[in-house]
């Protein structure tokens, strides 16, 4: 039986990891460079804004309303343990705008959009359509990646703003219809407690998450190989990587934005 040297396994894994990181970093650099430099494709950007933003509205809206509703219920039940039921509107608005709005909406969009981008570009790769673009003197980064990146960065904050409003409304509905809160008082409390920075921090995060979602879809699609199976693998990897990067970036950004005596890990 062949004995595997454990150090060789660790070495190979480390080198593989570093190679993959370098590869991704190279792709991101090239993609950003081509996104910032002309020519731009307004038609394609608009098309992607529709796909990423407009067509994600139903899934983001539904997720937001239920998240807001559950949040109101949980805070009410938790708050009741120390007679603090009245904090429901304050915590709902804070939780939704700072965290749950951007993160839940982005994770839902990652599942929908990263997969779709990876599948589309992956199919183009395995059917030589990307090679065809190059032979027609069209840079695939400018034509395929840049419009998706721009659309992701623009569409996600808009989606998250809508998710914030719908999420807070979900909490409001549960609180006023099921938990006995007075409508006017609930709205007043939410409004008084909320600060512009709470909403803005979520929107900044959403822009970064939009970038991650589009980038992971493009990266995985661009490097898919091996026919239908390869495209399937690229699609799965795009969603998994986008989700992980979103959660990691969320922690980092939260540490940076709300750095009030908290030291990041």
Partner 1 sequence: MSDTAKIELTGVHKSFGSKKVLTGIDLTVETGRSLVVIGGSGSGKSVMLKCILGLMTPEQGSIKVDGQETIGMTAPAREKLLTKFGMLFQGAALFDSLPVWENVSFGLIQSKRMKRKQAKEVAIENLRKVGLPPDVGELFPAELSGGMQKRVGLARAIAAQPEVIFFDEPTTGLDPIMADVINELIVERVKDLGATTLSITHDMASARKIADDIAMIYKGQIIWRGPAAKIDQSGNAMMEQFVSGKAEGPIQMDVLKA
Residues that bind partner 1 (CB under 8 A): 120, 123-124, 127-129, 131-139, 143
Closest approach, Cβ 31 to partner 1, in A, equals 14
Which one, 134 or 177, has the nearer CB to partner 1?
Answer: 134
Which one, of 157, 229, 259, lies nearest residue 199 by Cα? 157
Cβ–Cβ under 8 Å, residues 113 and 217: yes
Closest approach, Cβ 39 to partner 1, in A, equals 9
Exposed / middle / buried, residue 147 (Cβ in 10 Å: 0-12, 13-18, 19+): buried
Which one, 177 or 225, has the nearer CB to partner 1?
Answer: 225
Closest approach, Cβ 13 to partner 1, in A, equals 19
Which one, of 44, 47, 210, lies nearest residue 133 by Cα? 44
Closest approach, Cβ 151 to partner 1, in A, equals 15
Which one, 130 or 208, has the nearer CB to partner 1?
Answer: 130
**Long-range CB contacts (< 8 A, 24+ apart) of 189-197?**
189/86, 189/89, 189/90, 190/89, 190/90, 190/92, 190/93, 193/89, 193/90, 193/93, 193/94, 194/93, 194/94, 194/97
Which one, 83 or 135, has the nearer CB to partner 1?
Answer: 135
SS3 state of residue 207: helix
Which one, 45 or 73, has the nearer CB to partner 1?
Answer: 45
Residue environment code for 78-111, b if the CB has 16+ CB neighbours within 10 A, otherwise e: eeeeeeebebbbbbbbbbbbbbbbbbbbbbbbbb
- For residue 230, the tally of other CB atoms under 10 A from its CB is 17
Closest approach, Cβ 125 to partner 1, in A, equals 11
Closest approach, Cβ 143 to partner 1, in A, equals 7
Which one, 48 or 63, has the nearer CB to partner 1?
Answer: 48
Which one, 2 or 43, has the nearer CB to partner 1?
Answer: 43
Closest approach, Cβ 130 to partner 1, in A, equals 9
- For residue 193, the tally of other CB atoms under 10 A from its CB is 15
């Amino acid at each position: 039986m062949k004995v595997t040297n454990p150090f060789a396994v660790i070495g190979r894994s480390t080198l593989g990891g570093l190679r993959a990181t370098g590869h991704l970093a190279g792709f991101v650099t090239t993609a950003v460079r081509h996104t910032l430099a002309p020519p731009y494709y307004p038609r394609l950007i608009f098309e992607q804004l529709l796909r990423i933003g407009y067509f994600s509205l139903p899934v983001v809206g539904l997720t937001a309303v239920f998240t807001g509703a559950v949040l109101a219920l949980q805070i009410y039940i938790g708050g009741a343990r120390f007679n603090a039921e009245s904090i429901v509107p304050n915590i709902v608005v804070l939780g939704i705008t700072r965290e749950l709005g951007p993160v839940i909406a982005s994770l839902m969009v990652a599942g929908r959009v990263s997969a779709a981008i990876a599948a589309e570009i992956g199919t183009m790769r395995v059917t030589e359509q990307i090679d065809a673009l190059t032979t027609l003197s069209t840079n695939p980064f400018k034509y395929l990646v840049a419009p998706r990146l721009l659309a992701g960065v623009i569409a996600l904050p808009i989606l998250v703003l809508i998710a914030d409003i719908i999420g807070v409304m979900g909490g409001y509905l549960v609180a006023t219809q099921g938990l006995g809160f007075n409508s006017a008082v609930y709205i007043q409390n939410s409004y008084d407690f909320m600060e512009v920075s709470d909403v803005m921090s979520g929107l900044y995060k959403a822009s970064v998450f939009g970038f991650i979602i589009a980038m992971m879809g493009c990266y995985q699609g661009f490097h898919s190989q091996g026919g239908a199976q390869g495209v399937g693998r690229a699609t799965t990897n795009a969603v998994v990587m986008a989700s992980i990067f979103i959660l990691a970036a969320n922690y980092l950004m939260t540490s940076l934005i709300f750095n009030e005596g908290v030291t990041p890990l």
